[in-house]
Amino acid sequence: DSGVTQTPKHLITATGQRVTLRCSPRSGDLSVYWYQQSLDQGLQFLIQYYNGEERAKGNILERFSAQQFPDLHSELNLSSLELGDSALYFCASNPGLTQGGNEQFFGPGTRLTVL
Amino acid sequence: EDQVTQSPEALRLQEGESSSLNCSYTVSGLRGLFWYRQDPGKGPEFLFTLYSAGEEKEKERLKATLTKKESFLHITAPKPEDSATYLCAVRGQETSGSRLTFGEGTQLTVNP
């Protein structure tokens, strides 16, 4: 158990809908990262937040957005869902040090299925 | 742009048959190379971080090594419970924030 929690575990929805994925980082971690893992693309970085502020952006679609709240939990919002958005979405966290290559600890993921 | 290539894509071993997984990387100023283990449908589990060429780390039957262009994950006398996908990732100096760039992984199967 990494200490990172994600809810829900599974989500099934229809095209065009909007969903919210939630992540609670490990105790004491200030940085939260979101990754998407689909069968044909592996793990892809979406976005990073550090202590409530957006820190880095990957190839995140404009239909997707995220935020980190004062209690440090984060939410990833996916809207106008398409079939291709079906994937595993992982949240990871770490203390957020700017020096060195510090490891990230991953949650169990949310499996999103868009029908 | 950081790039990571892992080989082989899949590896099937007999229990006790040692082998190595390869991770080749291109990065501008390495700030860490990471190995993770991922079981089906679960989140990646952190194994090792390597920072500089020549560095080695060990954990049970696993040993990770690093050169300037690649990393190896050596598996000695594997057991069926070592079956998983092993992911390699890098963080580069020019990467904004602390994002990791992952390879596609090596799917390891260890038969009893």
Which neighbouring-strand residues pair with A36?
A44, A89
Beta carbons within 8 Å of B5's beta carbon, 6+ residues apart: B23, B24, B25, B103, B104
Please state, rounded to an integer, the average pLDDT across all residues of chain A. 93
- Average of per-residue pLDDT across A68-73: 96
pLDDT in tens, A1-36: 889 999 999 999 999 999 999 999 999 899 999 999
- pLDDT at position B64 over 50: yes
Spatial separation of the C-alpha atoms in residues A87 and A109, rounded to whole Å: 10
A86 touching B, CB under 8 A?
A: no
- Partner residue opposite A48 with nearest CB, options B44, B89, B97: B97
Subunit contact B43:A42, Cβ cutoff 8 A: no
- pLDDT at position A99 over 80: no
Smallest CA–CA distance, residue B6 to chain A, in Å, is 12
- pLDDT at position B95 over 70: no
pLDDT in tens, B78-89: 999 999 999 999
